[in-house]
Every structure is written in C-alpha cells, then in structure tokens.
Structure 1
Amino acid sequence: MNLQELLGTPESVDIPTCSRRGCSAEATFRLEWNNPSIHTPDRRKVWLACPEHRVFLEEFLGARGFLKETIDIGPRG
C-alpha cells in the first residue's frame, strides 16, 4: 500500500451532511446548541444543516431555548 492509498484522494474526504433525518444533502450551516438543563453553559453540541432544512432545525432548537448560534460554513469544494 502506498501513501496515497493510505491518505485517500480528495474525493474520498467526507462531505458534511445535513442532520435532518433522511436528508443526505451537503451541509452548509453549523447550528451550535446546548440543553441548559444537562449541559454546562460553555458546552456546545453541533447539528449540521443544508439550506433546505436550516430553518426547520433552527426553529426546532429555538423553540426549546437550545439554539446558541448558526454559522455559515459554505459549500465544500
């Protein structure tokens, strides 16, 4: 096995996918959240979102008071 086989090719790099159940679209947003009843204030959990599901996931987390920040990570490549 050579070094390229060990490291993989650029095409083999994982592309982040949306956290919405059943969605396999590329994620372009990072939703940082925490549940204050079980996480310390500095703890951040992450869901990834495609443009189609960004609002749905933000509203889901926001309705529970969990959403802290949404970061545009842009498309890969």
Structure 2
Amino acid sequence: MIGFDDDLDTPRCSRAGCREDAQWRIDWRNPRIHAADRVKTWLACTEHVDYLREFLAARDFPVAVIALDAAPGTAQAQAPVGTNPS
C-alpha cells in the first residue's frame, strides 16, 4: 500500500503534494493490463477521496472506496463506483 509516512506508522494521502492523514483506502485495478487478482491501493484524505475515485472511475477502472478504520464487509465501506448496491 502506498502513502505511508517515512516512519511507516501514519498513512498519508496519495494525492500529489498532499501530506494530510488518510482516512480512506481506494482499491483499484486497470483491467486492460491487470488480472482480477491484481489490485492496487491508494490512500486518501477526506478532501481528496472524491477526486481520486473520480480520476480512476473516469478511466473505467473498477474502484472500491473503504474507510481505513472499517473492517471488511462493514457498513462503513462504500459500494464500488459503477455498481448499484441492493
């Protein structure tokens, strides 16, 4: 996962030039060059989570945004972009 500070204890936003603490995890992949099991992760602060998600979604990449403090499968996780949660 990218975006950790030099001390490896504090997750930082992956947006270029941003040094804010990350609150969000953005999992994505480029389906044109990566198999379904190859997922990359960016971290985002609250200010940049929408920007980074939209940047990836505009390229038709599968994207999932999850709160860093959320356990997998909890209500804090957001639905992947481009899906219709039911």
TM-score between both structures, scaled by the size of structure 1? 0.75
**What is the match of residue 9 of structure 2?**
14
Q: Return 5+ residue gaps in structure 1 as ranges.
A: 1-11
- Provide the rounded CA distance (Å) in 1 between the counterparts of 2:43 and 2:55: 13
- The yes-or-no answer on 1:37 pairing with 2:32 is yes
More helix by share: 1
The structural deviation recorded for 1:13 is 5.3
**What is the match of residue 56 of structure 1?**
51
Letter in 2 for 1:27: A
- Provide the rounded CA distance (Å) in 1 between the counterparts of 2:38 and 2:8: 27
Three-state SS of the structure 1 residue aligned to 2:11 is coil
Paired residues of 2:27 and 2:65 also in contact (CA < 8 A): yes
Q: Return 5+ residue gaps in structure 2 as ranges.
A: 1-6, 70-86
Q: Percent identity?
A: 49
| Equivalences, count | 63
CA RMSD of superposed structures (Å): 1.3
Larger Rg: 1
